[in-house]
Amino acid sequence: MKPLPIGIQTFKDLIEGGYLYIDKTQWIYQLVKNSKGTYFLSRPRRFGKSLLLSTLEEIFLGNKELFKGLWIENADFAWKKHPVVRLDFSKQKAKDTEALVRFIISELNTIAQKYNVHLEEKDYYSQFQELISKLSVQEKVVILIDEYDKPIIDHLENTEKAVEMREVMKGFFTILKGNDSHIRFLLLTGVSKFSKAGVFSNLNHLDDLTLNNMSSTLVGITQAEIEENFSEYIEATMSELKMQREDLISKIQHWYNGYRFSKKGEKVFNPFSTLQFFNRMDFQHHWFETGTPSFLIKQIIKQNYDILTIPMQVDELSFSSYEVDDLQLTPLLLQTGYLTIKDYNEERSLYTLDFPNFEVKEGFLKYITKKLYKKENTDSLLYKIIDALNDKEFEDCFDYLREIFANIDYDIQIHQEKYYQTIFYLIFTLIGLKIKAEVKTNKGRIDAVIEDQSIYLFEFKLNGTKEEALEQIKTKKYYEKYLNQGKSIYLIGAEFRDKNIGEYIIEEWKG
């Protein structure tokens, strides 16, 4: 088996080291075949953007020998050598604008020295202009910019500083449009797509590949690529986990597939998680645990973001871009990979957004729960709840629930029914039950339904009694859609009092 390219983002090292490479050059060719190309691509972190830029760099340096056996080797491409300006902003850890400017100047001078060019200008944007102008004397320049938005994202918790960083980057990128005649190819990548009123205000000539059907599988791994490239690893994993091939493929899909980047695009697997899975032969939260930004979770709590709206339907303007000084969480969640496109309604021009797969959904909800509930034994307590529920030990079940609510930080508690309902949803989702919040029936909405060995219908009352909650279930006949399933049905009315679960009443439906 070819070794897996874990942590390798340099195309030359990957090829010369004999690592497994999924041939994306047929799709890359579509970008480079014309005499001019200026593009932008937004994708989640660790999704292969850096490897894509490294591959493009080798193509434009004319290193055809590295592409032996790959699709592009026999394509109609000139393999002309161009000067390449490649900037990777993921390498900077600038605490302020001065440090960011120093990083840019250092990178520009390093590239200039590589091509025996002396830069005479002193400020960073004039140096960029000078570098492009001098390098393009013989051949047009190729410009590849990785993680353009990292200097901004690093400071999103401090809006003022993030805006300052944005202005530095905006000034830097302004040079690109003015030098369009000197540029053969340009690609900017990042996690986020800030609106054109921000960083991209002077880059309205870029072809945005982010939601383009033709580019939907440019990074990420398709089902066909899994089966073609990982066949030996699949066999080895089947033996290790003692699973049949069909069951193994299905479980890998459940955990790591599901990302979709356009209206009609094919679903792709998370490449980082997929490689880590075949390396360890173990189902874990590989991608999610590599650094979920605490800022994102803080914003979800701070803005009282309603996770019960997931999945949601939105138009493209709702998620295609966002502003540093007016952060909207839906586009942020989509662009960072915690939500993805699940469907598109042509007639209404609406996208359905949802968690891409089990890894992200469970990891995301567990992370939020642990931020809310400060004790260490979250998982243990969750399983006590489900054991008590299955044993019909309802008083124990509610005592465990009360313990969770009692240990939630006071300053983030919101005296609304939706808040308690959200916590309830988190708890039971994490213990693997089939739960649906606010389930629609022809008579109204049920607050929560749990389907396991039995069926439990919950109705909560923040400003009412347990009897009123139970009566609502009966009056609106919420139980009707669950009849004839051969399971016991329990109707549960509960009160919320003093920021915790109060009294409750339970009846088994007898018909």
CATH code that applies to domain 11-210: 3.40.50
Cα–Cα distance measured from residue 48 to residue 28, given in angstroms and rounded to the nearest whole number? 13
Cα–Cα distance measured from residue 227 to residue 232, given in angstroms and rounded to the nearest whole number? 9
The residue extents of the domains of the chain are 11-210, 223-284, 290-358, 373-508
φ, ψ (nearest 5 deg) of residue 411: -75, -10
Residue 171 is predicted with a pLDDT of 87
Comparing C-alpha atoms, which of 184, 278, 259 is closest to residue 219? 259
Given a cut of 70, whether residue 468 has pLDDT beyond it is yes
pTM of the model: 0.87
Radius of gyration of the chain (CA): 27
Given a cut of 60, whether residue 413 has pLDDT beyond it is no
Cα–Cα distance measured from residue 93 to residue 6, given in angstroms and rounded to the nearest whole number? 23
**Residue 464 CB neighbour total at 10 angstroms:** 16
Angle at which helix 245-256 crosses helix 271-280, to 10 degrees, equals 140
- Bridge partner list, 207: 39
- Mean pLDDT of all residues in 349-354: 94
Where does the pLDDT of residue 379 fall: very low under 50, low under 70, confident under 90, or very high at 90 and above? confident
Residue in this structure with the two tokens 């994708």, named with its chain if needed: 43
Comparing C-alpha atoms, which of 435, 420, 421 is closest to residue 386? 435
Say what percent of the chain tops pLDDT 90: 59
**Chain segment 106-135, per-residue pLDDT in tens:** 999 999 999 999 999 999 999 999 999 999
Residue in this structure with the two tokens 């900037």, named with its chain if needed: 87
Residue 412 is predicted with a pLDDT of 53
Residue 375 is predicted with a pLDDT of 67
**Which residue type sits at 321?**
S
Cα–Cα distance measured from residue 366 to residue 285, given in angstroms and rounded to the nearest whole number? 11
Q: Which residues contact 260 (CB under 8 A, 6 or more apart)?
A: 216, 266, 267, 268, 340, 341, 342, 356
- Mean pLDDT of all residues in 325-347: 89
Residue 409 is predicted with a pLDDT of 63
Apex 332 CA angle, 331 and 338, nearest 5: 100
Residue 357 is predicted with a pLDDT of 96
CB contact at 8 A, 299 and 6: no
Comparing C-alpha atoms, which of 160, 161, 162, 153 is closest to residue 190? 153
Cα–Cα distance measured from residue 174 to residue 195, given in angstroms and rounded to the nearest whole number? 15
Given a cut of 70, whether residue 474 has pLDDT beyond it is yes
Whether 11-210 and 373-508 share one fold: the answer is no
CB contact at 8 A, 259 and 268: yes
Residue 293 is predicted with a pLDDT of 65
Where does the pLDDT of residue 292 fall: very low under 50, low under 70, confident under 90, or very high at 90 and above? low
**Chain segment 14-59, per-residue pLDDT in tens:** 999 999 999 999 999 999 999 899 999 999 999 999 999 999 999 9
Cα–Cα distance measured from residue 457 to residue 447, given in angstroms and rounded to the nearest whole number? 8
Cα–Cα distance measured from residue 23 to residue 27, given in angstroms and rounded to the nearest whole number? 9
SS3 content of the chain, % helix, strand, coil (to 5): 45, 20, 35
Domain 373-508 has CATH 3.40.1350: yes
Residue 291 is predicted with a pLDDT of 62
Bigger pLDDT: 297 vs 60 = 60
- Mean pLDDT of all residues in 468-494: 92
φ, ψ (nearest 5 deg) of residue 366: -65, -40
Please report, for residues 183, 313, 440, 458, the alpha-carbon distance to residue 345 in angstroms, rounded to integers and kept in the order given.
Answer: 38, 9, 21, 32
Where does the pLDDT of residue 201 fall: very low under 50, low under 70, confident under 90, or very high at 90 and above? low
Given a cut of 90, whether residue 481 has pLDDT beyond it is no
Residue 503 is predicted with a pLDDT of 92
Comparing C-alpha atoms, which of 435, 406, 425 is closest to residue 502? 406
How is residue 143 written in tokens? Answer: 């410009």
**Chain segment 128-182, per-residue pLDDT in tens:** 999 999 999 989 999 999 999 899 888 888 889 988 998 999 888 889 888 889 9
Where does the pLDDT of residue 410 fall: very low under 50, low under 70, confident under 90, or very high at 90 and above? low
